[in-house]
Amino acid sequence: SILCMPVRAADGSVVAVVQAINKDASQGGQFTPLDEEMMAAVCDAAGVALAKARHLTEAEQERVKSEALTETLRIVSDTGGEMHEMLEKLVSHVAYRLVPADRISLFVLDEIKNELVFRVTESGLLDVRIPVGRGIAGTVAATGETLNLADAYDDPRFDRSLDEQTGYRTRSLLCLPLRARSADPNNPGRIVAVLEAINRHGRSAFTALDEHLFTVFAEEVAPTIARRSVETSYAKVLSGGEGDQR
129-178 pLDDT per residue, tens: 899 999 999 999 999 999 999 999 999 999 999 899 889 999 999 999 99
pTM of the model: 0.69
Tell me: pLDDT of 111 over 50: yes
* Rounded CA separation 180/188 (Å): 8
Helices (H) and strands (E) in the chain, counts: 6, 8
Q: Residues 6 or more apart from 2 whose CB is under 8 A from it?
A: 19, 20, 21, 22, 31
H-only helix segments in 146-207: 161-166
Residues 170 and 205 sit within 8 Å (Cβ to Cβ):
no
The residue ranking higher by pLDDT, 126 or 9, is 9
Q: Angle at which helices 208-239 and 33-78 pack, to 10 degrees?
A: 10
The residue ranking higher by pLDDT, 118 or 58, is 118
Three-state DSSP state, 160: coil
Q: What is the pLDDT of residues 176-201, one digit of tens each?
A: 999 998 878 888 889 999 999 999 99
The residue ranking higher by pLDDT, 20 or 65, is 20
Tell me: pLDDT of 105 over 60: yes
